[in-house]
């Protein structure tokens, strides 16, 4: 019996080619985590992940045999371009066409207005038979419908856990665990930076001090406007609501409020009533109309997101047959996003 | 383009035969929910669910064409045996062999000592090429390993969301959303009855009053011993930990404490320290050793399960690459369990 089982396993073992594009914090974290987990993934899921190329802005590192971590780190700790495998000006399209299709891992930085350069990368991948796992939310914010249809038409997967809330499995729960139930409404704390600032303010810190602290810790960016003005939350809400509720929202359909106008007095007053002020992304149906907003909301102790503090995130799905289902936590750092990408890749081949 | 898409859909549309065994609260809820959701499941997942037989203790209702709800309810509101399709003494094995294989939906009542009668049903289904979705935890408590191996050997799915915590997607998150991460520890509030009693006690009600109230509301059974002595929690912990951490625990490996010994004083004292007393199922690795227990635990405000009150449940996975991921909520009534069964069936055919 053991003999037969082993033969079955050998037959099922699947080799999957990967291309990584974008070698910033998340791309690097993915590169490291992939090596760290390769053996486990081989044993547990019968998947051999072969990284064939890494692209950054100036070109690509490409190898016919899988790229090994040691080789990259030893020869090009400072820049990919120092690696002997480096090909300046190499285009993504060339590799997508020349290598047997697997998964494009999209980690370039996010532009929620143009979607570029990720939008072009994802389109090119889907047109050449490659699945996509993206940590970049720009392309989906700009063309959710078009990319989704292209993937379906070509029978490919377009996975975006890493783009919606890093290791918080918001999309998995919405798409997989709630299969067959109707999602009536969604409420989420989807941005760690603003939740950190609001948590600090509830403990007496002023807005500007809390923001400075967040920036010093690397939680907030030097230009924090996308976070504190609510746009990061809005984009994640858009991605999740469109996927889970089958909508076609674009950013113009979402009423967006940030946290910049919040006063210490309002927070203090809510606290006295036993409530917490949270920046919630919310979507619900009002009759046949969909209402989507990002707004400062006072939530009371009985709300499932009441205790989600600091950089933590969380999301609640209100459903017809399963009641309210909430998922919280999950690392929101580059390693968490990398783990979400890896999870998506594994689940493409289940 | 629409034309092609529709043709693809037609080609993919899948007809799935179901056998429902056990027609108590959960079985009936499944029967109703299936009818309620049939159209949605057909459109969204391209699945046609055809109920071919319903079994209760004395026999089965069997039909070559799919059984319709109206027909069952109109002719046999009081007992299945009044239906013209009723066949006294009909055996499950006969139907498993005569009908094209689909999914056996196991809803008979749970016996965690013998696993019967569900154990026999599930074995028979797997031997005849049928997938299984079970709301009955007895069989898995008794023979987790044997049933799992039989399913794998026959390339069949054995799904048990409905048995582990009804609509709380504990297994989905553990198996799907955490793919590729290492689960270092699990902590869960897995029993609604005991959590209800503890929540009431924290608000000043005595143990015996809280229990009586729970019984009056149908939350606790007349003989509440399986719940209040911790065994229900232990069985769910076993199912989840074995599946998610790849263990082979049996009930003897779990140290089980219930809530019967708790005093109002202890609860009051914890409350003063800002903590809540919860009945937690816990598994963690201590070096190479696995420690599994069900115990009364004082959790503080920062614990992700701190706010899980009343009949609500929740589970936290502590992982190496994704941090702590928690899922809470989900209806724990028969409709919630039915929704979990339906979700499992849909996901078998994704």
Sheet holding A158-159, edge to edge: A86-88, A59-62, A47-56, A14-21, A103-106, A131-134, A158-159
Average pLDDT over residues B153-175: 95
Residue B326's pLDDT is: 98
Cα separation of B196 and B211, whole Å? 9
pLDDT of residue B75: 61
Return mean pLDDT, chain B: 92
Tokens of B172: 């989905």
B293/chain A closest Cα distance in angstroms: 24
To the question of pTM greater than 0.90 for the whole model, the response is: yes
Task: Give the chain A residue nearest B313 (alpha carbons).
Answer: A325
Q: Do residue B327 and residue A330 have CB atoms under 8 angstroms apart?
A: no
**B167 to A304: CB separation less than 8 angstroms, yes or no:** no
Q: What is the pLDDT of residue B7?
A: 42
**C-alpha–C-alpha distance, residues B131 and B127, integer Å:** 10
**Count of beta carbons in the 10 Å neighbourhood of residue A10:** 9
H/E element, B106: strand B103-106
pLDDT in tens, B76-132: 656 788 888 899 889 999 999 999 999 999 999 999 999 999 999 999 999 999 999
pLDDT of residue A76: 61
Question: Which candidate from A37, A322, A328 shows the least CB-CB separation from B331?
Answer: A322
A48 Cβ neighbours under 8 A, 6+ residues apart: A13, A14, A15, A16, A42
Q: Please, what is the angle between helix B25-45 and helix B334-348, to 10°? A: 40
Closest partner residue to A180 among B41, B316, B335, by Cβ?
B41
Distance from C-alpha of A87 to C-alpha of A63, rounded to nearest angstrom: 10
Of B169, B323, B329, nearest to A324 by CB-CB distance is B329
**A251: which DSSP letter?**
G
Strands B289-300 and B254-256: parallel
Residues of A with Cβ-Cβ distance to B347 under 8 angstroms: 176, 179
For the cut 90, the answer to whether the pLDDT of residue B4 exceeds it is: no
| Edge-to-edge strands, sheet with A289-300 | A254-256, A289-300, A275-286, A183-189, A314-319, A324-329, B324-329, B314-319, B183-189, B275-286, B289-300, B254-256
| Residue B118 in tokens | 């569900």
Comparing CB atoms, the residue among B5, B177, B304 nearest residue A328 is B304
Query: Which residues on B lie below 8 Å from A168 (Cβ)?
Result: 325
Q: Which residues of A touch B321 (CB under 8 A)?
A: 33, 36-37, 167, 331, 335-336, 338-339, 342
Distance, CA of A216 to CA of A218 (rounded, Å)? 6
Instruction: State residue B119's pLDDT score.
Output: 98
Contact B331 A323 (CB under 8 A): yes
- pLDDT score, position B188: 98
Instruction: Kindly determine whether residue A331 and residue B321, on different chains, have CB atoms separated by under 8 Å.
Output: yes
pLDDT for B1 equals: 33
Under an 8 A CB cutoff, do A322 and B304 touch?
no
Task: Write the CA distances from A130 to A97, A105, A150, integer angstroms.
Answer: 10, 10, 11
pLDDT value, residue A80: 84
Closest partner residue to A326 among B1, B153, B327, by Cβ?
B327
First to last CA, chain B: 23
- How far apart are alpha carbons A96 and A119 in whole angstroms? 15
The answer to whether A236 is a known catalytic residue is yes
List, as one string, the DSSP characters of A105-169. Answer: EE-SPP-TTT-TTHHHHHHHHHHTT-EEEES--HHHHHHHHHHHHHHHHTT--EE-HHHHSTTS-
Compute the distance between CA of residue A213 and CA of residue A219 in angstroms, rounded to an integer: 8
* Chain B residues inside the 8 Å CB shell of A177: 169, 172-173, 176, 343
Residue B10: pLDDT over 60: no
Beta carbons of B22 and B120 less than 8 angstroms apart: no
How far off is chain B from A325, nearest CA to CA, in Å? 5
Residue A252: CB atoms within 10 Å: 7
Question: Which two tokens mark B330?
Answer: 């989900």
Contacts of A35 in chain B (CB under 8 A): none
Q: Are A136 and A118 spatial neighbours (Cβ–Cβ below 8 Å)?
A: yes
Instruction: Say whether A180 and B306 touch across the interface (CB within 8 A).
Output: no
Local confidence band at B72 (pLDDT 50, 70, 90 cut-offs): confident
ipTM value of the model?
0.93
pLDDT band of B58, cuts 50, 70, 90: confident
State how far residue A89 is from chain B, nearest Cα, in angstroms. 34
What six digits make up the tokens of B244? 């998610």
Q: What's the rounded mean pLDDT across residues B314-321? A: 97
Enter the tokens of residue A265. 């007095």
Residue A231 phi, psi (nearest 5): -70, -35
| Cα(B172)–Cα(A169) distance, integer angstroms | 10
Token readout for B249 is 């625990």
Q: Which two tokens stand for residue B108?
A: 């008979």
What pLDDT shows up at residue B43? Answer: 93
pLDDT on residue A5: 45
H/E run at residue A191: none
Question: What pLDDT is stored for residue A1 in this prediction?
Answer: 34
pLDDT digits (tens, 9 = 90+) for B320-340: 999 999 999 998 899 999 999
Question: A239 near A160, Cβ under 8 Å?
Answer: yes
Burial of A217 (0-12, 13-18, 19+ CB in 10 A): exposed
pLDDT for the residue B288:
84
Taking an 8 Å cut-off on Cβ atoms, the answer to whether A167 and B326 are in contact is: no
Q: Which of A137, A236, A282, A313 is catalytic?
A: A236
Write phi, then psi, for A134 (nearest 5 degrees). Answer: -120, 140
pLDDT of residue A75: 61
CB pairs under 8 A between A and B: 156
Please judge whether A327 and B324 are an interchain contact, meaning their C-beta atoms are less than 8 angstroms apart. no
pLDDT digits (tens), chain A, 350 positions: 334 444 444 456 799 999 999 999 999 999 999 999 999 999 999 999 999 999 998 889 998 888 887 777 766 656 788 888 899 889 999 999 999 999 999 999 999 999 999 999 999 999 999 999 999 999 999 999 999 999 999 999 999 999 998 899 999 999 999 999 999 999 999 999 999 999 999 999 999 999 999 999 999 989 999 999 999 999 999 999 999 999 999 999 999 999 999 999 999 999 999 999 999 999 998 888 999 999 999 999 999 999 999 999 999 999 999 999 999 999 889 999 999 999 999 999 98
Task: Write down the H helix ranges in chain B.
Answer: 2-12, 25-45, 69-75, 92-98, 118-127, 138-153, 161-164, 170-172, 192-202, 207-216, 225-228, 231-245, 264-272, 334-348
Q: Residue B142 gets which letter from DSSP?
A: H
**pLDDT classification of B246: cutoffs 50, 70, 90:** very high
A338/B321 touch (CB, cutoff 8 Å), yes or no: yes
Looking at the complex, report in whole angstroms how far the Cα of residue B90 sits from the nearest Cα belonging to chain A. Answer: 31
- E strand or H helix at A28: helix A25-45
> How many residues are there in chain A?
350
Indicate which residue of B137, B236, B278, B282 is catalytic. Answer: B236
Best of A322, A331, A333, A347 to disrupt the B interface by mutation (most B CBs within 10 Å)? Answer: A322
């Amino acid at each position: 019996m053991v003999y037969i089982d082993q033969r079955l396993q050998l037959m099922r073992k699947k080799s999957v080619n990967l291309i990584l594009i974008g070698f910033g914090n998340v791309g690097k974290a993915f590169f490291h985590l992939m090596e760290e987990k390769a053996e486990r993934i081989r044993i547990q899921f019968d998947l051999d992940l072969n990284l064939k190329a890494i692209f950054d802005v100036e070109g690509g590192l490409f190898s016919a045999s899988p790229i090994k971590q040691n080789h990259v780190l030893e020869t090009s700790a400072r820049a990919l371009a120092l690696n002997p495998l480096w090909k300046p000006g190499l285009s993504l399209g060339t590799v997508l066409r020349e290598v047997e299709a697997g998964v494009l891992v999209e980690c370039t930085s996010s532009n929620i207005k143009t979607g570029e350069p990720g939008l072009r990368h994802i389109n090119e991948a889907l047109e050449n038979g490659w699945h996509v796992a993206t940590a970049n939310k720009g392309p989906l914010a700009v063309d959710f419908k078009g990319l989704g249809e292209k993937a379906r038409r070509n029978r490919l997967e377009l996975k975006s856990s890493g783009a919606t809330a890093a290791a918080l499995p918001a999309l998995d729960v919405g798409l997989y665990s709630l299969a067959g139930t109707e999602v009536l409404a969604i409420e989420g704390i989807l941005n760690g930076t603003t939740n950190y600032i609001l948590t600090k303010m509830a403990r007496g810190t002023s807005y500007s001090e809390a923001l400075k602290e967040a920036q010093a810790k690397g939680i907030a960016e030097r230009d924090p406007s996308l976070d504190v003005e609510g746009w990061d939350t809005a984009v994640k809400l858009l991605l999740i609501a469109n996927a889970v509720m089958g909508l076609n929202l674009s950013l113009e359909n979402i009423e967006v409020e940030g946290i910049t106008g919040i006063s210490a007095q309002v927070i203090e007053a809510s606290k006295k009533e036993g409530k917490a002020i949270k920046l919630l992304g919310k979507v619900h149906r009002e009759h046949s109309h969909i209402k989507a907003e990002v707004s400062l909301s006072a939530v009371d102790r009985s709300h499932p997101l009441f205790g989600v503090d600091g950089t933590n995130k969380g999301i609640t799905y209100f459903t017809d047959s399963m009641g309210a289902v909430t998922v919280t936590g999950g690392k929101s750092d580059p390693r968490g996003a990398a783990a979400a990408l890896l999870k998506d890749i594994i689940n493409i081949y289940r």
